[in-house]
Structure formats: structure tokens, C-alpha cells
Structure 1
Amino acid sequence: MSEQKKVRKTVREINDRIRKGQAVVLTAKEMIDAVKSMGKVKAAQEVDVVTTGTFSPMCSSGIFFNIGQPEPPLIKAGKIWLNDVPAYGGLAAVDGYLGVTEPAEDDPLNKVFPGRFKYGGGHVIEDLLNGQKVRVRAAGYGTDCYPRKLLEREMALEDFRSVELLNPRNGYQNYNCAVNFGEKVVYTYMGPIKPRCANANYATAGALSPLFNDPYFRTIGLGTKIFLGGGVGWVIGAGTQHNPKPKRTPRGIPLTPSGTLMVKGDLKGMQARYLRGVSFLGYGCSLSVGLGIPIPILDEEMAWFTGVADEDIMIPIVDYGHDYPHGVPKNHGHVSYAELRSGTIRVGDRDTATVPLTSYTYSLEIAQTLKQWIEQGAFTLGEPQEMIHSE
């Protein structure tokens, strides 16, 4: 076939190849060399799916859950706590939502250092996945149909009627490299940032990151099937703070924080290995989420996008000591992901140590695991029913 001839595939055709065991699947890391060696047209002809992965703190995450009714009398649970972490109870009688950044009311670290927290909603989720029971407390004001006012019980994951991981904002498409030009440590969701640019913290999996491999959301939308927390999940639309109109490089890579995803999946099918409760000194709690998206290679343009390398990805440097708390962050230039991974970058007139919040090892593991699932025919692609705006 001529290098000039256009390549066109459909998700249905690729799924047929997956079911027959004929699909060619590469991780995003492997696709870099494939595009460099074969060119984008030949790579599009040869490769059917590219798998991506990231494992990073994602604060806008949580679970919708149903604790089930007790023996009569029944309860309308207006307030709910899981291991003393408050959940939102303003739903139906025994439904609730637990956010991963919500801290425990009796957090032991907060008692010693007010404003600092060790245990929160993300840790509750990890405990449930590790097979531990959590203490569930609920309180209601009492009605004729729901007269009970208090409920307390120990519950393991299997005891919940349902538990859905539903994350309003995951998989950020680019994010800040955090530095501090000030004279004192600042405690942030990017971790502690030392004064005088002593460290530069960043959060992305670079070329493995899902949304860098489909920068214009040509294959990702409502109904896209994904790896989520070690199980199967779904994209249900754009995430909160989705910015479809960032400045971009010629390759389509956004130069500022831009696209986001809202995702969901059954927590009972997930693994604690890929959902880890974390806490940041001086900031609070969160959850590290394992997320992987298969990118179907529909044409040579998608092959080109999935061939993106670390040196192609430019990340904005933002001063969290001065600019960030006072409004729109100011851009102090860009640095490539390849430079960040080297361990040291140049900021102004000094060398600054870089600190990743995203695990590259786990991100690659997720991409490789998703590749194995597809090659084994255990995972087919979900065709989007509604696309996400990218421009």
C-alpha cells in the first residue's frame, strides 16, 4: 500500500479483530518508536490500538454508595459517616457520596497539628478494597415512613448494596509544574513546595498519559470503556473545569491545564493496588487513581497523535508561593516532560530538583495490563455515543 494512501478504520472493525485475536496492540511507550521507524501512515496500517496509563492523585474523586436499610424501623440518613469521615447524605434514604478529600472528624494528626490531616475519604476507599470493615454511622430526623433516627454498623465492601466510583474530574490534560519563588514553604495539593525554587513538583505520566495521546478527543467521549482502579470503567463525559480551548503546540499538545474527564465504575470490581489513599502535609487527603484509556488507531492522524514523546510535551511552570493563591496563575515559561524526568530543571538562574507525584512505573504497568486484556480478548473498545468538545 502506498505511503500516500489514506488509512480508515472503525471501532467496530477493530473490535472484530480483538475478538478474533488478530488485533495489534502497543503501549503508548512502544508506539513512539513505531511511528518514528514506520511513519504515521504505515503505523496506522499496522497498529489497531494504543494503550495509555496514569497513576496520580486525583482530588475530584469519590464513591456513590447505598448502605441498605436496617431491620425496621427504617431510616432516612441525612448525615452519614464512614470511619468518622463525613459523607454527603442529601440523596435518597440510604444513598450517600463520599469525597476523597474529606478528612476524618477525629483525625489524629489534626489533633496535634490543627489543619493537617492523615486520614480521609480516599483512605476509606482503600480500606474497603483491602477487605477491611468500616464503621458506618447514620443519623436522620425521623419521619412517618422513616422513623429511625440513628444507625451504626460495621460494613465490608460486599455488605454495601452498591458502591460506584464516580469521579467528577480525572485525567487532567497537562498540569502545572509547581515551584516557589518565596521565602517560606507553601503546603499545597502538589505537595510541600520549598522556598527559593528548591524543588519543582509535577503530576503527569507524559507520553503515557491518556489525553496527550488523543489531544482533540477524537476517540474519547460518553461510553468510552477504560481501565479504572484495576477494573473496568467508563467515561461519562467531560470533567469539571474542562477547558476545550487551550493554546496548543503544532502537535496539538495543550500548553496549559485543559481537558478533563468524568468517569465511573463499580468499586467492587477494582483493586487497592490502583486506588491508594494519600495525604499531603499541610494540605489534606486525596486518592491516587489508576486510569488507562485504549486509543483506537482509526487513521494516520491518530497514529501521529499516539506517537507523542516526552520531549514533545511542554508543561507550564507556576509559582505557588506568590501567583497561585491570588487568582489566575502566571506562566513562568515551560519545561518539557523529558526534562522533568531527568531529575533536574533550570528555573531562572538555578538548578532545581524535580519531584513526580505521578508514578511512572504504575502508569506503565496500567498501559501494559490494558494491552494484555485486549490481546487476550477480555476487553473490547467502547464506541463513544457523544463526543467531548475539544475546540
Structure 2
Amino acid sequence: MAQYEVNKTVKEINERIRTGKAVVVNAEEMIAIVKKEGKVKAAQEVDVVTTGTFSPMCSSGLLFNIGQQPPVMKVSKMWLNNVPCYSGIAAVDAYLGCTEPSEDDPLNKVHPGRFAYGGGHVMEDLLRGKAVHLRAEAYGTDCYPRRELDKDVTLADLPNAIMLNPRNCYQNYNAAVNLTSRSIYTYMGPLKANCSNCNYATAGQLSPPFNDPYYKTIGIGTRIFLGGGIGYVIGEGTQHVQKPQRNERGIPENGSGTLMLKGDFKKMSARYVRAQSIIGYGISLAVGVGIPIPMLNEEMAWFTGVSDADISMPVKDYGYDYPNGIPRELARVSFEDLRSGEVMVNGKKTATVPVTSYKMSLEVADKLKDWIEKGDFLLTEKVEDIPSF
């Protein structure tokens, strides 16, 4: 078992939060503290480091219940604003995926693949207090005789509304370019021909999993900022890579860990849950996620001292290689280089374009910091590890 000069517990940190004595900094601020004071003193001085990201997270959605009204029904098909929901769960439970497009999307009829409205927009509309049109069908049974339902509903009308996201917060990801001679349209955004732009994701030094690369404190049961409300980590997300290749700081070299998250949708805010129409690709949802990292020891201080210069990402071709399953790495660039606005790929200077908002990611980290400093948010200990070795 590792021996540390600094040893704190979550219980002790929570007591400092309750009494207003906790020292809380965001991940950007922690970089300078670790650099100046060293990891041991930083761990002694700081109690919590807040992280944040605000990025398109396609594997997100809404688990909801519409309630019953006489005569009762067992829904087999459901639509919200003509966006199909999955209803094979229970009588009036359904799941709305953020990427599901509307069946009558006018833009898609004119330009196939260029969706203008979908599940993410329904979610944002609900958070903004708008009414959405509910249409449901059923085959009818003796105990559930109703066959049709047609009405407008608001978020307040839904007995239950839970954001349930199977895969959020990628620990690292590709930077995307296009080596073909035509522009292409991807989930990373439009990529111009001949390697003219390089699009990249994640919040770098602010990103939650970069600040706890081995999931020492993040696990099942971790309380988090989710969409402007409080949520929880409920496990590793889909496509989670357990044993990625890492650099000397423990940072994965490629796309690796992911998180499965849930939270009370009714307590979220449209500022931190925003629909996105990605031209030529489809619908997504930008979600704000902030995770507090308790400074239990100097190892955690070292991890949270990570900077953009410590993070590298692979540049990959989305014109031919990616769609054909070829994992060729064209270049390796630091996140610091990506944020500079220009990188070298195949000997060519290429403009960089973020699909994650660093400004909003910092706002998420600072919002969580404010909650903790005011005593409105206490940390939780994970009840089960997320695999990382």
C-alpha cells in the first residue's frame, strides 16, 4: 500500500466544507499551485479541485414516465414532437435518445443527413418550460385498454424525468482531419478537404478524467454537477477501455475511459443542456459535467496539476481511414498546441477547431466550486471502483 505524507479522508473534507473552511480551487488554478508549491504542499493546502467539461455527448438521453389517465394504457410506440422514443420498458415509461431525429424533419427531406430537430432539442425545449406534443399508441389489453393518447405536455407534467447517459466524458479522443479532396461531414463537425482544418474535443486540463486518470476518487456513487443540477456516476460508460496506453503522468494516449451518468432532469438548466444540429451528421447534445476531486494525498495533487502541455492526442483521418476502420495515426499533438489555433499534420500547417467549449467548461468547474464553498454540495465516496488497470 502506498505511503503518503498527506492523508485526508472525504469525511474530513466534508466537515471542512460544512464549516466553511475548505479550500476549493478549479483545475486550471491547481496547475499553478502544484508548479509553485509542489505536490505535497499543494495537497496540504487544497481540499477540493473542481473539474468541468461542456461538450457534445451523443450517448445521452431522457428516461421518463408520462403517468396514467383513465382509461390506462401500455404504450408500444411514443413520439415527443414527432421524435420517436423507445417504449419497450413498462406501461408508460420511455427513453428519448438525444440523437434521434424527428420523423418529419423538413431539412432532412431536402438534404438527407442534415437534421435540424431531434431528441436533444426536445430535451432542451422541456428544460425551457415549453410544451411538447405527446403522441402514443398501444395495442390494448384487458388491463390496459387505451389505444391512443394525443396531448401537449411540459416537464412539470411528467411524474419522473431522469437524465440517463450511457457514455459521457471520454478520457481522451481523436483530433480529426480529412485527407480526401472533398469536404465531409462528421460527428466531429465539418472537415474541409486536403487537411484544411483539425477538429478536436475534450476540455483538456479542465476535463474530469484527465484530473483523475486512474479513477482513484471517481467511481460508482460519485456525486457530480450534471446539466446544472446534481447527478451521480453510476458506472463505467459504454466503450470504456480498461487498460489504455498511458504517458508518464498516467494520461491515456488515445480514447479510453468513459462514464455512465444519471441525474434529476427536472433540476437541470438549459444553459448546461443544449441541443446541437451537426450539419451533415445529425443531432447531439452538449452537456455540462463537473466532478470534484478530493485532495486525499499528494498523488491526487500531482494528478490534478496536469496541464494542456501534458496531454497529447492522436490526429486521425476521417475522410478514408476512420470510416474504413483503419487506426492510422497521422501525428501526435499536445492539447496546448491544439488550443494555439494551429498544428502541423503531414508537414502542413492546419487550423484547429474545438468542438468543446473551454469557456463553458471553466464555468462548470467554477459553478461547482461555488456550490462547494457555500456548503451546498458535499462530496461522496465511491462505493465501487471503475476499472482502469
| TM-score relative to the length of structure 1 | 0.98
The answer to which of 250-259 and 329-338 deviates more is 329-338
Whether 1:345 and 2:339 are equivalent positions in the alignment is no
- Per-residue deviation, 1:382: 1.2
**Alignment partners' CA distance in 2, 1:380 and 1:92:** 34
Residue correspondences, number = 387
Given candidates 197, 200, 203, the residue that maps to 2:198 is: 200
Instruction: Trace 1:60-139 onto structure 2 (pairs within 5 A).
Output: 60-70=59-69, 72-139=70-137
- Per-residue deviation, 1:5: 6.7
Whether 1:191 and 2:189 are equivalent positions in the alignment is yes
Match of 1:44 in 2: 43
**Alignment partners' CA distance in 2, 1:58 and 1:205:** 13
Match of 1:12 in 2: 11
Amino acid in the other structure paired with 1:310: D
**Alignment partners' CA distance in 2, 1:5 and 1:202:** 37
Amino acid in the other structure paired with 1:80: M
> Does the CA-based 8 Å contact 2:331-2:346 persist in structure 1?
no
List structure 1 runs of 4+ shifted beyond 3 angstroms: none
Amino acid in the other structure paired with 2:177: V
Amino acid in the other structure paired with 1:241: Q
**Alignment partners' CA distance in 1, 2:184 and 2:171:** 24
Instruction: Trace 1:331-370 onto structure 2 (pairs within 5 A).
Output: 331-370=329-368
- Per-residue deviation, 1:74: 1.0
**Alignment partners' CA distance in 1, 2:245 and 2:179:** 25
Match of 2:251 in 1: 253
**Alignment partners' CA distance in 2, 1:292 and 1:266:** 15
Unaligned runs of 5+ in 2: none
- Per-residue deviation, 1:115: 2.5
Q: Deviations over 1:88-136 (max 9, x none)?
A: 0001100000000000000010121122211010010000000100001
Instruction: Trace 1:137-216 onto structure 2 (pairs within 5 A).
Output: 137-216=135-214
Give the root-mean-square deviation of aligned CA atoms. 0.9
> Does the CA-based 8 Å contact 2:4-2:297 persist in structure 1?
no
Amino acid in the other structure paired with 2:258: T
**Alignment partners' CA distance in 1, 2:102 and 2:73:** 23
Q: Deviations over 1:40-79 (max 9, x none)?
A: 0000011010000000000000010000112x21111111
- Per-residue deviation, 1:177: 0.2
Match of 1:315 in 2: 313
Match of 2:227 in 1: 229
Q: Deviations over 1:111-166 (max 9, x none)?
A: 21122211010010000000100001110001001111110110010000110000
Amino acid in the other structure paired with 2:276: V
Q: Deviations over 1:6-46 (max 9, x none)?
A: 11111111111111111110100000000000000000011
Alpha-carbon spacing, 1:249–1:5, altered in 2? closer, same or farther (3 Å):
closer
**Alignment partners' CA distance in 1, 2:144 and 2:113:** 37
Identity %: 65
**Alignment partners' CA distance in 2, 1:330 and 1:101:** 28
| TM-score relative to the length of structure 2 | 0.98
Match of 1:22 in 2: 21
- SS of 1:34's equivalent in the other structure is helix
**Alignment partners' CA distance in 1, 2:200 and 2:4:** 41
**Alignment partners' CA distance in 1, 2:146 and 2:23:** 58
Amino acid in the other structure paired with 1:68: G
- Per-residue deviation, 1:327: 1.4
- SS of 1:110's equivalent in the other structure is helix
